[in-house]
Amino acid sequence: MYPSLLHETPHPDEQIVLGKRFRLPDSRRIDTYLASEGYQGFLKAAQMTPEQIIDEVKASNLRGRGGAGFPTGLKWSFVPRQSPKPKYIVVNGDESEPGTCKDRVLIQYDPHQLIEGILIAGRSVDAHRGWIYIRGEYRYLIDIMDEAIAEAYARGWLGKNIQGTGFDFELSTHTGAGAYECGEESALLESLEGKRGVPRIRPPFPAVSGAFQCPTILNNVETFAAVPSILRMGGQAWAALGIPKAGGTKLTCLTGHVNRMGVYELALGYPVRKMIEDIGGGIRGGKKLKAMIPGGSSCPILTGEEAWELNMDYDSMAKAKTMLGSGGVVLMDEDTDMVKAALRIIRFYQHESCGWCIPCREGTMWLKKLLTRLDEGVGTVKDIDLVGDLADNMLGRTFCPLGDAAAMPTMSIVRKFRHEFEAKLGRKTVSMAGLSQLVSITG
């Protein structure tokens, strides 16, 4: 189970921005928020033009914290403010990526920071209505968020003429039904509109045609939560907390075979070695790092040797042919069975596939069957090769990235740990599950 609080960084030179209120008494309450610079960023934004707000966000080098890492200010600038249609703000709180639990602590301990970020985004594109879409398993967070929204309405930080600024904004929560697919923005919008949560064909993109076919800003919880500090500090000052092309700090979920699991706020560009040894207290039991998932289970895996010399930022991970993703770091020690790890990951994606696209629906099923055979010891060398071929034929052939999310980690595990797959060949320790998979494949 993940620790409930965001851990303090043990180094005094590291600045805590997003989590600075997490350890305050009654941190989720509006009085606590107002007493610690709360809503000051919105009041500043209310005196700025929409263009000035967006320019400030651009200057911060804030990149989307949901996984894709697209520049936030640029994304907001795509919204056609002169459109006669209403504009909307939608928050992606469907935090379903395995290994990721950062948005949870933001809502649990500082929901007003999220509300303020939404207000600033609304002011930047003249939007007056928003929804916070929260995953179905986060029922208790919906209650916390609803309480915060009620406080904001009661104190004049939501509704009509907010704090005399002349800006109106209505906000509410919307629950998902536990579908991983609805973490994809277009499927989320379908679900928000009361339809089946399946992806849309794009273009058009949400900035032009999003919620109810109207221009929409759609970012995840952490992205919106970063915006108030950007307005208070100034974009350049916030950018200086990180590195060029990736400003600020980021919440990182440190899980797996590490001594101190938790959610940590680290500057972009933080060294992986330092994160594991100093922040995480090293690999559990003094063992060696065998593999690392850097940003949630959909990312290509890294060997321990590869990960050890990298930094936690978008470009460094891209050069290593993986992704920073959502910041869900999963560490695996030297005793990890990588065949079972690959099977566990593909089981998740096969279960969560919405079935809309044939390559994903059929590909995840066949990958699960093949990996089950290999894990049970009844596979062949050709099965190992077939896993790679199947995954390769899924890449880029689906409406949404779920097919890629299933294929990329599978391909990387087989490629980097092929010897473990080969070592299981011919063991013939088949269980009833493995036997059923064998029969279904061979007929």
The DSSP letter of residue 399 is S
Q: What is the pLDDT of residue 1?
A: 28
Q: What is the pLDDT of residue 9?
A: 44
Instruction: Name the token pair of 136.
Output: 């179905």
CATH code assigned to 249-333: 3.10.20.600
Q: What is the pLDDT of residue 6?
A: 47
Q: What is the pLDDT of residue 251?
A: 95
CATH code assigned to 338-442: 1.20.1440.230
Q: What is the pLDDT of residue 428?
A: 63
Question: Among 275, 330, 287, 248, which residue's Cα sits nearest to residue 7?
Answer: 275
The DSSP letter of residue 278 is I
CATH code assigned to 18-239: 3.40.50.11540
Q: Where do the structural domains in the chain lie, given as residue ranges?
A: 18-239, 249-333, 338-442
Question: Among 359, 366, 362, which residue's Cα sits nearest to residue 404?
Answer: 359
Q: What is the pLDDT of residue 15?
A: 77
Are 152 and 118 spatial neighbours (Cβ–Cβ below 8 Å)?
Answer: no
Distance in angstroms (rounded) separating the CA atoms of residues 142 and 216: 22
The number of residues making up the chain comes to: 443
Q: What is the pLDDT of residue 233?
A: 94
Q: Which residues pair with 267 in a beta bridge?
A: 249
pTM assigned to the model = 0.91
Number of H helices, E strands in the chain: 19, 12
Q: What is the pLDDT of residue 12?
A: 39
pLDDT digits (tens, 9 = 90+) for 300-358: 999 999 999 999 999 999 999 999 988 899 999 999 999 999 999 999 999 999 999 99
Which residue numbers in the chain have pLDDT < 70?
Answer: 1-14, 427-443
Q: What is the pLDDT of residue 200?
A: 93
